[in-house]
Amino acid sequence: MKISTIPALLLAHVALASPLAVVKRVGDDGAITTTTTTEHVHHTTTVTTFVPDSQTPDIQDSTTVAIEGTPQPVTTLSTKTVSHSSDAVERSVPSGSPGAGGRKNIVYVTNWGIYNKVFKVADIPADSITHAMYAFANVNPDGSLFATDEWSDISIKFPGDEQIPAGNNAFGCVNQLYQLKKKNRHFKTLLSIGGWTYSIQKRFSGWSATDAGRKLFASSAVDMIANWGMDGVDIDWEYPSTPEEGRDFTLLLKEVRQALDNYAATNGQNYHYLLTVASPADPAKIANLDVAGMDQYLDSWNVMAYDYAGAWDSTTGHLANLYMDKANPTATKFNTQGALDAHIKGGVSPNKLILGLPLYGRSYASTSGIGQSYQGTARGTTEHGIYRYNDLPLPGATITEDLSLGASYSYDPAAKMLISYDTPNVVRSKGEYIHANNLGGAMFWEAAGDKTGEESLVRAMANTLGGLDTTPNMLSYPKSSFDNIRGQ
């Protein structure tokens, strides 16, 4: 997960009536259909976000800081094939079936998301979500964990918190998630540790190579979820850079798995606390992992199937396409099929693979279209060049949905700006892909970017998947220091 910038200044939430929205769709059969509608678009603006129709977007030099970890296409693994249009790569459909508990619909919830005035943890569609990954805890040099924003995590009071009986209570996002668990017994929460920013600070280096460091990490992780009332641990190490670090990652997972099981046994709980990872989509980075070794300790792999193109590239490209485009290869530098194939080739059962989707888009300025050159990026809502999905499409843009690739983008020919992001139709096509490939479910990064109602990508996926995981969550945390979490 790579977006972690908190806006410096938050302005009012405004609702804008967009001009006529034009949607062009390219179907699996190559047919092109165009639909024109009028709709209202809700915008959350910051000092770096709002671009009026009449204003040319600010341009940032194209030497934006590169983000590592973009995946490479791999088309090696296949057990049966599905025929599609001649423009697309042959699609492999691995064997397997979803877990007995149903498919997962996972959303990352960040502790900086609340600084977007529109977003409230209590408003996430918990009835359509099976798991929320709470991001991020960080790691000390010795392997112990610490909270990265205690005010957001456990201190800020939200409406309704005044009804909590007096005592030593957790507030903040932690309590909001716990209250959602009480109202939705299928809704489970995991503590996510690491993330892109902390990973590139080498927060996983050193201690992970030692038995003592791994044990301390495991015990600290269990202590934190026991204190905060969570159902498991998600580790987001981006990324082990050598086979030796990959080996250390496997040993770390073994230690955490044992610590989670010991915690449940000590408390007399017949409950399986979850252990997951945020997994790279780049086969070259997957190659540094002991995939089979890791898999024996993991409940699922949350594959970060996005950021396939961005400001680090010389041409525009799709953000999260399912397949390679042979006709325009520069537009699909990487693809999800290759990422999943690399995991399966390493020994992961398809039903443990969770397909990641973005709730944001990446922009390109001064470009003539997809797969073409560009100059810089436009203003965004989280950082320069990145727009939350709930700010898209921008007024004046035409949406193109290429369902043969599982990709979409908007383009404003007047401003010459392109933004690659997933639309509800593309998300539904990815849900069908999950069904066809017997994958374990979907994951979204991150909750503050979604829309509400029929335009919600999270709900669109839930409706497409159907039969979601209904395994119960845990509400009893006898070792929590917080009265409102311990006392259930």
Catalytic residue numbers, as ranges: 238
**Are 61 and 470 contacting, i.e. CB atoms less than 8 angstroms apart?**
no
Torsion 101-107-111-116 (CA) sign: negative
Q: How far apart are CA 321 and CA 324, in angstroms?
A: 7
Q: How far apart are CA 254 and CA 250, in angstroms?
A: 6
Q: Which residues pair with 60 in a beta bridge?
A: 377
Tally the C-alpha atoms within 13 A of residue 254's C-alpha that lie toward its C-beta: 13
